[in-house]
Structures are given as structure tokens and as C-alpha cells.
Amino acid sequence: MKRKLLSLITIGVLVALVSPVPAQAAERPGGKESYAVSIGQVAPEGTPPTGKEFARLAMYYFDLNGTVREAFWFWSWNIGYPAATIAPTSAGCDNCKIHTAGGFQNGAEVKELRGTYTVTGDRLAITWSNGSTENWTVTRPETGISVLALTGSSYGANVGKGYGSNVRTTVSVALKDIPKKRYPGEFRYNAWDAKNEKLTSDWGTSGINLQEFKRCNDNCLSAAIAVADGSTACSACKPGEQKAVRYYLASDGGRKNYYEHFCTCLLQGGNTCYAGGSHLKPQLQVIDDAQKFRGWVGIEAQQRIANRGTLGVHWYTDV
């Protein structure tokens, strides 16, 4: 009996010695679990799109076992996306329906990718299960938030930025609680230049300024803002027509926000609501570790007809 017990103890010791050691936890990029990201392919500034351009709005989730998951919405330059009407309206302001890019409305398909990642210093490398790869730089501009910037990919994506934190992705900020200030940023887009009848692309700085927005209701903020002298905005307005832009920022809960704007001179007759080709910009909120609202990552898909309108990506934050 003693010999049998000794044998069992010996086997137990051997098993303990040869059992594999659990894999070491991966280092999350910037120490953050999830990122709100907009990424895409945009033709070089001033050159025509080729037809391969796309935009993607996504949440990236990094697990400590070295795996990554991406939940995303996708728009392609060579496919038309009719506008979708969302549930919130601008009741309390001009009582109009509000729209978003087709494919972002509630109930639309959310696509998914899974893969693995490695972090080396300030470099993040992702390999998706379909074999495509992405490379990013990682910075920590301040406590509570980290930033990803795309440096290259194997599938055509050439612009991208993401903002990450460790707050649960179910956390969002209600429109009434978003600070009404200017959120600066930048954009990259492909477009059909209707005035000169040609395809083009553009890169630049811009922003979302909420200082003049008023609360229509719990689900909508809105403003009608005159175009500054010398601005090229609302070039479709006829001579003598007042140049102003009507903006809507809406939400039906969660990180998704709907941003829409159009030139008011395009309203027909006595109509106060516009049903034409407004600028449709799906957005995801950027929130830091303290659950503070910091801005948006977004895309624009104002292209009811393939290869026309505008398709691009943008980032407007106070980070």
C-alpha cells in the first residue's frame, strides 16, 4: 500500500513538472480593451476614385489571450446605399424625419471579423482569420484613453484611426449630456463633383460644433447655421438665396449617433423638411475610462447611386 501511494505521489509530481504552463497574457494595445474605429480606402488627395474604395465603422475588442474581434458596418464606393429613415425625429424643432446611411439603421446587419494581434512597443499588428493584415501605431495622449493610427494593410485600407478605453461598450452618453462645444478633427473622402462633373477625393480638417445646437427632444439636437462669407459650402444655392445648413444629431440609444445635414436653400416650395441627398454620417461615440464623452469616429455614405455622392471617413474628438 505504501509503495502504491508513493507511486501515485511520484506520478503527481511528474505531471506537475511536465504540464504545460498557461500562455502568458497578451498586452492590450495602449492598455485598452475596446476601440471605436473608422477605417477605409480613400483615393490620394485630388485623384479620382478607382471603384475599390470603401469605408468601415467598427468596434475592436482585444482579449488578453491575444485574440481580437471586430464588429463593423461596411460601405463600398461602387454600391449605392439609399438613405434609411430612423425612429427619432426632430419633433420640437422643425418636426422632420431624420435619416442615416443605409445599412446603419437599427436592425441592419453588423458584420464580424476575428483574428489575432501582437503589440511590440508602440506597434500593433493584426492578422484576421481571412488572412488580411493591419498595422497600427499606438499612442497614449492622456490618462484614460489611447489612440490607434493605421500605418498600412494588406487589403487596401489606407486611412484609419481609433480611440480606446476600458469602459464597457454598453456605456454611452445621452445627447442631453454631451458638452455643447466644438469637436475638431479631420476627414478623408471620395466624391462626385457635380459642379465640374468629375470624380475626385479630398483630405482636410473640419469639426462638429454643437455650440448653436438646441435640444429638440431627448433623442435629437438640431441647428440651422448661416454659411460664413467666403465659404464654398452650399455652392448649389442660387444667387440671392440665403446660404445656411440645417444639422441634426440624433440617437436611439447606445454608442450609435446619427449626424445629418443639408443646405436649406435646397428645400422645395414651403417645405421645412428635406428629402433630397443630405449628408449622412453614421457615428460611434468615443468615451474614455472615466465615462466622459470625447467625440466621435464616423463615416459618410451619401451615395444613393454607386460611384456618386460622397464616401469617406472622419474623426472629431477633443483628444
Instruction: Enter the DSSP assignment of 43.
Output: P
Is residue 134 within 8 A of residue 116, CB to CB? The reply is no
3-state helix, strand, coil in the chain (%, to 5): 10, 50, 45
pLDDT band with cut points at 50, 70 and 90 for residue 21: very low
Domain presence at residue 5: no
pLDDT beyond 50 at 290? yes
Flag whether 275 is in a domain.
yes
CA distance 22 to 25: 9
**11 in a structural domain:** no
DSSP 213: -
> What is the per-residue pLDDT for 15?
33
Distance between CA atoms of residues 283 and 150, nearest Å: 19
Q: What are phi and psi of 304, to 5 degrees?
A: -65, -25
Residue 7 lies in a domain: no
Domain extent for 216: 23-317
pLDDT at 95 over 50: yes
Domain count, the chain: 1
Q: Is the per-residue pLDDT at 137 higher than 70? A: yes
Euclidean distance between CA atoms 134 and 152, whole angstroms: 6
Report whether pLDDT(61) > 60.
yes
What is the model's pLDDT at position 270?
A: 82
Residue tagged 449628408 (cell numbers)? 279
Lowest mean pLDDT among 16-20, 40-44, 222-226, 252-256: 16-20
Mean pLDDT of 78-92: 97
The whole-number pLDDT of residue 23 equals 45
Contacts of 10 (CB under 8 A, 6+ apart): none
| pLDDT value at residue 24 | 53
User: Given its phi and psi angles, is residue 102 left (phi above 0), alpha (psi -120 to 50 degrees) or beta?
Assistant: beta
Q: Which residue has the higher pLDDT, 26 or 170?
A: 170
The stretch 36-47 carries a mean pLDDT of: 95
Residue 210 lies in a domain: yes
Q: Are strands 214-217 and 198-209 parallel, antiparallel or unpaired?
A: unpaired
- Helical H runs in the chain? 2-18
Residue 26 has pLDDT above 90, yes or no: no
Q: What percent of the chain has pLDDT over 90?
A: 83
Contact 272, 241 (CB under 8 A): no
Q: Can you tell me the distance from the alpha carbon of 269 to that of 272, in angstroms, rounded to the nearest whole number?
A: 9
Burial of 297 (0-12, 13-18, 19+ CB in 10 A): buried
Q: Does residue 16 form part of some domain?
A: no
Q: Is residue 34 part of a domain?
A: yes
- How much of the chain exceeds pLDDT 70, in percent? 92
Q: Please, what is the average pLDDT of the chain?
A: 91
Q: Please report the pLDDT score of residue 3 as a whole number.
A: 43
Q: Is the pLDDT of residue 252 over 70?
A: yes
Residue 242 within a domain: yes
Is the per-residue pLDDT at 193 higher than 90?
no
